[in-house]
């Protein structure tokens, strides 16, 4: 067995596809080599002991393998400055560590970064390409060797593209760094271009230091200090800060144009307004595509869908059931004979603990947990201090983080955001424009990466059409392509049946809903979703419509409170405060219910002293004044007084033979029988004054009688 065969088999065991390449050559000579797929048994026929180089096919053929080939000496020198750290690095003696291996399921496109003269600076090799690996001999006669023979680091295509672009730009600049005498001006101009283009101060300093180091500039710290100087000038907006045009004068216009392109920057001054143009597309250039479904007719791939419902109905369990089915390829509940494509899942869960809730529920649902990931947060590293800070994930600022996470997970098909309100940051969920500013990029991400995104939300209280019941702005339901409501089945006597009903579906006919129960899986205490196979025809609006009911307590309860209040007032007037305390604390009645009972039996409310406490008493049905509905001293028919005052006035009236003119219900009459009677109390008159006037009235009446007798 030859060494090359052993090495080829090792590469095959790592999921890479080896192919034979002529000895001391770079390119294969076998026809159709990009489609060559050698089995382990077939390797011996190609690696048979004769001198042979070993090539490895890149990209999707080898589990997303990507080779970043550092061609220029400056690129080799700057590899560690810009590229992500990886444990798979190889090269040869004259170009050590010139090949850095990464993996990315959403593959980076093959890309070449060439200098204006055509010289290769950096090359990204991916699907459709191959690289001669260790175990081979370079055309120069140098053996190609591993420097780190570990696993490639998983990165997103976008993340790797930005890193390689900065590496190539720095390498090209360092190769064309000017001679002494112009280097300070070049650093000032480069700094101006970077800062105007959106680089932070820390990133600009890192970039300048890397360029000066690779160019072997002997005044590196002076070059780095230009960042602070330029930043101050830009803050003052004094127009003195240089930028790309000045750098083009010092170095080369063609070089500077390549650098700007590779960095993704434009030669636009920060203080100038940006140019705005309409983004038009002709539909003749738009290719028609069919909707791809994760759950046929219900949850689409490349779109944002939403599940809304009240707490405690199993919304999160439904999403975990979906995740379990995707991870195993288990058929959907309404399509039992149709296995689905196996894929990975990313969960964002802000309300349930991963260890004691989510994992046990996934296990109970039969999930392949090796295919389900949780995005717990974001780790932010300060480039100057190296400190790492853990932060909560936010859809407003961290969408690139979510994209990177999806990119590094093979075959990701589903992303669950539960609940979406927990990941809005400072976004006002009730402002339509702010919500759409979050959901539109989220929808673009779903479309670009080919994943289904399911957001979970709660319902607001109240009634109305189901589509208006989601908490927050209507934009949540409007932006989602499909909305599903989870609600109780009001016709189920057990109260355990749940309904999964369509609220809207922009991608298919609205169709029918489904029903499920939340039950413990066999041999487990953790809940799972048990679906019914038959469809449910009821609409979300019908299922979520609240049954009409009379306001206030039930009739039996109202009668009980009325009977209690009549009994409490049977012996005469009482303080309202005492009645409230007795009803609430001793009998458990609600204050509002007591007030309803008071109105029902027309209890008289009065306050004899102002200021003073309120009193309640039963009405007298035989009193003509009460029959007219008089209840206070401000209305015609009499004046309410407290029992003490009423007793004193009654005593005075009795001595004056006017007892018959006072009603027995605590009211003082407006006049005596002979129209020379007691004047009614003033509106603000208190009990003490009323007694004094009654005594005066008694003396006046006695005087009149004495005069009549004489």
pTM over 0.75? The answer is: no
* Predicted local confidence at residue 464, as pLDDT: 63
* Predicted local confidence at residue 662, as pLDDT: 40
* pLDDT tens-place string over residues 424-478: 888 877 777 788 888 889 999 999 899 999 999 888 766 667 777 676 667 788 8
* Predicted local confidence at residue 240, as pLDDT: 56
- DSSP 3-state assignment of 18? strand
* Predicted local confidence at residue 660, as pLDDT: 34
Q: 436: which 2 tokens?
A: 């759409």
Kindly provide the residue ranges of all beta strands, DSSP E only, lying in 15-155, ordered along the sequence. 17-22, 52-57, 65-70, 88-92, 95-103, 111-114, 120-125, 130-132, 145-149, 153-154
Closest by CA to 222, choosing from 239, 236, 205, is 205
Q: Between the CA of residue 530 and those of 314, 362, 516, 540, what are the distances in Å?
A: 11, 14, 5, 20
- DSSP 3-state assignment of 574? strand
**101 near 85, Cβ under 8 Å?**
no
Below-70 pLDDT ranges, the chain: 1-2, 105-108, 236-241, 266-276, 382-386, 461-464, 469, 471-473, 546-557, 620-710
* Radius of gyration, CA atoms only, the chain: 42
* Predicted local confidence at residue 707, as pLDDT: 54
Q: Write the secondary structure of 281-316 as one string of H (helix), E (strand) and C (coil).
A: CCHHHCCCCCCCEEECCCEECCCEEEEEECCCCCHH
Q: 332: which 2 tokens?
A: 């959907």
Q: Report the length, in residues, of the chain.
A: 710
* Predicted local confidence at residue 547, as pLDDT: 54
């Amino acid at each position: 067995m030859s060494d090359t065969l052993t090495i080829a088999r090792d590469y095959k065991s790592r999921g890479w596809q080896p192919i034979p390449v002529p000895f001391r050559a770079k390119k294969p000579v076998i026809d159709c080599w990009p489609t060559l797929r050698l089995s382990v048994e077939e390797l011996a026929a190609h690696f048979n002991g004769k001198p042979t180089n070993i090539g490895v096919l890149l990209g999707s053929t080898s589990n997303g393998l990507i080779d970043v080939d550092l061609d220029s000496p400056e690129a080799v020198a700057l590899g560690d400055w810009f590229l992500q750290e990886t444990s798979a690095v190889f090269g040869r003696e004259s170009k050590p560590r010139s090949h850095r291996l990464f993996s990315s399921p959403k593959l980076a496109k093959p890309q070449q970064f060439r200098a204006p003269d055509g010289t290769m600076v950096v090359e990204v090799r991916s699907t459709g390409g191959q690289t001669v690996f260790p175990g081979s001999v370079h055309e120069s006669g140098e053996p190609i060797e591993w420097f780190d023979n570990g696993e490639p680091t998983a990165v997103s295509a976008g993340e790797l593209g930005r890193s390689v672009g900065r590496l190539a730009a720095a390498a090209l600049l360092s190769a064309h760094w000017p001679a002494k005498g112009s280097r300070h001006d070049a650093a000032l101009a480069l700094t101006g271009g970077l800062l105007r283009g959106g680089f932070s101060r820390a990133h600009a300093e890192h970039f300048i230091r890397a360029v000066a180091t690779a160019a072997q500039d002997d005044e590196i710290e002076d070059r780095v200090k230009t960042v602070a100087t330029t930043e101050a000038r830009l803050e003052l907006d004094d127009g003195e800060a240089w930028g790309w045009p000045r750098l083009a004068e010092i170095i080369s216009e063609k070089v500077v144009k390549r650098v700007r392109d590779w960095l993704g920057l434009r030669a636009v001054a920060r203080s100038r307004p940006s140019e705005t143009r309409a983004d038009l597309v002709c539909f003749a250039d738009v290719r028609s595509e069919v909707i791809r479904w994760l759950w046929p007719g219900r949850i689409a791939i490349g779109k944002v869908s939403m599940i809304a419902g009240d707490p405690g109905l199993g919304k999160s369990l439904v999403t975990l059931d979906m995740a379990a089915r995707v991870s195993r390829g288990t058929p959907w509940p309404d399509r039992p004979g149709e296995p689905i494509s196996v894929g990975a899942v990313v969960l964002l869960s802000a309300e349930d603990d991963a260890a004691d809730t989510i994992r046990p529920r996934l296990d109970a649902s039969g999930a392949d947990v090796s295919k389900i990931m949780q995005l717990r947060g974001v780790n932010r590293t300060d480039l100057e201090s190296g400190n790492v800070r853990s932060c909560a994930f936010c859809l407003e600022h961290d969408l690139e983080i979510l994209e990177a996470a999806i990119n590094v997970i093979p075959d990701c098909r589903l992303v669950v955001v539960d609940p979406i309100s927990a990941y809005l940051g400072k976004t006002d969920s009730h402002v339509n424009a702010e919500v759409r500013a979050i959901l539109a990029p989220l929808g673009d991400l779903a479309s670009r990466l080919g994943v289904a995104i399911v957001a979970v939300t709660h319902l607001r209280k109240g009634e109305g059409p189901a589509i208006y019941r989601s908490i927050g702005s209507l934009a949540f339901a409007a932006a989602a392509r499909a909305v599903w409501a989870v609600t109780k089945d009001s016709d189920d006597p057990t109260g355990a049946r749940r309904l999964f009903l369509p609220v809207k579906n922009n991608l298919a006919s609205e169709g029918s809903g489904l029903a499920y129960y939340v039950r413990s899986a066999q041999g487990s205490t953790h809940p799972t979703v048990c679906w019914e196979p038959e469809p449910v025809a009821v609409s979300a609006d019908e299922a979520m419509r609240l049954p009409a009911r009379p306001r206030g307590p039930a009739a039996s309860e109202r009668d009980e409170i009325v009977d209690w209040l009549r009994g409490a007032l049977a012996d005469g007037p009482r303080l309202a405060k005492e009645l409230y305390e007795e009803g609430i604390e001793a009998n458990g009645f609600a204050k509002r219910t007591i007030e309803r009972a008071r109105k029902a039996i027309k209890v008289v409310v009065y306050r004899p002293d102002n200021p003073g406490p309120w009193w309640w008493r039963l009405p007298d049905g035989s009193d003509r004044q009460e029959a007219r509905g008089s209840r206070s001293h401000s209305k015609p028919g009499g004046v309410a007084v407290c029992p003490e005052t009423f007793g004193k006035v009654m005593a005075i009236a009795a001595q004056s033979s006017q007892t018959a003119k006072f009603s027995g219900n605590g009211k003082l009459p407006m006049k005596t029988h002979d129209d020379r009677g007691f004047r009614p109390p003033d509106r603000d008159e208190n009990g003490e004054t009323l007694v004094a006037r009654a005594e005066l009235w008694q003396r006046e009446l006695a005087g009149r009688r004495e005069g009549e007798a004489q």
